[in-house]
């Protein structure tokens, strides 16, 4: 194999976590794939994979090199396609991450449209409720629902997301009127916690309100379902309660006391040139997300 084919072999081994799997993808023998990686490691002077009898996993150095290899090979494929006059048929493998529920409801349908439109592109999606490092976890693009810190990433704004307090009409009709956040301690509340952290105070324009929740759960969907059932008041991002709000199963309260809506961005690594398949994916996701009503910043009114 020449050096370029060794790079393709490296990516294939990383994708399949197997020398045999990479060999099948590339149409060569497993020993040839093994030799190619050994030669590449010798040339670079670093170990790219941790090998065991059961698995082959990229080392930290391998993960970092993988990001650059994907970009180089994608750029090369795009350039060759342009020379062949088939730039309208992008190809290659892209990776994207998003929060679990938002990804399932709003990102995955757009991704499906993109894959149907571009049959030669493959997409790996990682839907998790944590901040994923694009570099360390070899992701091309991420959806961030948060105020972004300064970084070397390129951020494309796609909208804003309200954080709301919601309750079932039946619950709100039978309890003391809720006028302002300081009334909350007299109400039954449903709170979420993640990563073994305790409940954080609910924050409003006038400051935080510490609470002792009736229900503390690590899944926002379960918290919203409890609010629909009439257990008490829940606080969530508006998309997480959108279906129940649209059906009239929940109502928003304390709207005038909400903090400003949270910005939502698509982020990707900075570079001199964005590969054509990634540019198409970014354009598609940007247009699609900006059209989502929940990202309007004033979704569901007051």
Residues 178 and 243 in one domain: yes
| Cβ atoms 25, 18 nearer than 8 A | no
Determine the Cα–Cα distance for residues 14 and 129; give it in Å rounded to an integer: 24
Residues 177 and 224 in one domain: yes
Residues 95 and 230 in one domain: no
Q: Kindly state whether residue 158 falls inside one of the protein's structural domains.
A: no
Share of the chain above pLDDT 90, in %: 53
Residues 66 and 97 in one domain: no
Question: Encoding tokens for residue 82?
Answer: 């342009």
pLDDT over threshold 60, residue 154: yes
* Three-state SS at 268: strand
Q: What is the pLDDT of residues 97-107, one digit of tens each?
A: 999 999 999 99
pLDDT over threshold 90, residue 76: no
pLDDT mean across residues, the chain: 88
Mean pLDDT for the stretch of residues 49-75: 86
Residues 69 and 110 in one domain: no
Determine the Cα–Cα distance for residues 290 and 28; give it in Å rounded to an integer: 45
Q: Kindly state whether residue 231 falls inside one of the protein's structural domains.
A: yes
Q: 68-95 in b/e burial notation, b at 16+ Cβ within 10 A?
A: ebbbebbbebbeebeeeeeeeebbbebb
Q: What is the pLDDT of residues 187-209, one digit of tens each?
A: 999 998 764 555 678 999 999 99
Q: Kindly state whether residue 6 falls inside one of the protein's structural domains.
A: yes
Residues 6+ apart with CB under 8 A from 20: 30, 33
Residues 139 and 167 in one domain: no
pLDDT over threshold 50, residue 238: yes
Q: How far is CA 86 from CA 24, 77, 91, 146, in A?
A: 26, 11, 10, 38
Mean pLDDT for the stretch of residues 27-42: 91
- Cβ burial of 236 (10 Å; 0-12, 13-18, 19+) is buried
Highest average pLDDT, of 66-70, 193-197, 231-235, comes from 231-235
Residues 95 and 223 in one domain: no
Choosing from 84, 106, 141, the residue where a domain stops is 84
Residues 6+ apart with CB under 8 A from 201: 208, 209, 210, 211
pLDDT reported for residue 195: 47
Choosing from 84, 107, 137, the residue where a domain stops is 84
Residues 123 and 46 in one domain: no
Question: Encoding tokens for residue 168?
Answer: 């079932």
Q: What is the pLDDT of residues 8-19, one digit of tens each?
A: 999 989 888 889
Q: What is the pLDDT of residues 254-293, one digit of tens each?
A: 999 999 999 999 999 876 567 788 889 999 999 999 999 9
Choosing from 58, 84, 110, the residue where a domain stops is 84
* CATH number for position 185: 3.40.190.10
- The total number of structural domains in the chain stands at 3
Q: Kindly state whether residue 67 falls inside one of the protein's structural domains.
A: yes
Confidence of residue 78 (pLDDT cuts 50, 70, 90): low
Residues 242 and 300 in one domain: no
Between 137-141, 158-162, 183-187, the lowest mean confidence (pLDDT) is in: 137-141
Q: What is the pLDDT of residues 119-150, one digit of tens each?
A: 889 999 999 988 888 877 888 999 999 988 86
* Three-state SS at 266: strand
Q: Name the residue range of residue 45's domain.
A: 1-84
**Is-above-0.75 flag for pTM?**
no
Residues 48 and 132 in one domain: no
Residues 143 and 280 in one domain: yes
Residues 169 and 297 in one domain: no
Determine the Cα–Cα distance for residues 43 and 37; give it in Å rounded to an integer: 10
Q: Kindly state whether residue 109 falls inside one of the protein's structural domains.
A: yes
Q: Kindly state whether residue 291 falls inside one of the protein's structural domains.
A: yes
Q: Kindly state whether residue 233 falls inside one of the protein's structural domains.
A: yes
Q: Kindly state whether residue 14 falls inside one of the protein's structural domains.
A: yes
């Amino acid at each position: 194999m020449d050096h370029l084919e060794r790079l393709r072999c490296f990516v294939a081994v990383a994708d399949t976590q197997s020398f045999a799997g990479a060999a099948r993808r590339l149409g060569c023998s497993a020993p040839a794939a093994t030799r190619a990686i050994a030669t590449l490691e010798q040339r670079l002077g670093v170990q790219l994979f941790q090998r065991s009898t059961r698995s082959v996993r990229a080392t930290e150095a391998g993960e970092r090199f993988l990001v650059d290899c994907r970009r180089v090979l994608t750029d090369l494929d795009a350039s060759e396609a342009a020379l062949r006059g088939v730039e309208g048929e992008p190809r290659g493998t892209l990776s994207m991450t998003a929060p679990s529920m938002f990804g399932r409801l709003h990102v995955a349908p757009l991704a499906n449209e993109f894959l149907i439109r571009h049959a030669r592109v493959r997409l790996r999606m990682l839907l998790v409720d944590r901040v994923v490092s694009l570099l360390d976890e070899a992701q091309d693009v991420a959806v961030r629902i948060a105020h972004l810190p300064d970084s070397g990433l390129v951020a494309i704004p796609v909208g804003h997301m309200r954080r709301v307090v919601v309750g079932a009409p039946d619950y709100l009709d039978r309890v003391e009127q809720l006028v302002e956040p300081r009334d909350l301690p007299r109400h039954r509340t449903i709170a979420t916690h993640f990563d073994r952290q305790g409940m954080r105070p609910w924050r409003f324009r006038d400051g935080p309100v510490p609470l002792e929740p009736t229900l503390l759960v690590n899944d926002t969907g379960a918290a919203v379902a409890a609010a629909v059932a009439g257990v008490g008041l829940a606080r969530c991002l508006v998309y997480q309660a959108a279906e129940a709000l649209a059906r009239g199963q929940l109502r928003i309260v304390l709207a005038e006391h909400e903090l400003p809506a949270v910005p939502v961005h698509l982020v990707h690594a900075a570079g001199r040139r964005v590969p054509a398949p990634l540019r198409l994916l970014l354009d598609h996701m940007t247009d699609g997300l900006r059209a989502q009503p929940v990202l309007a910043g004033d979704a569901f009114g007051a």
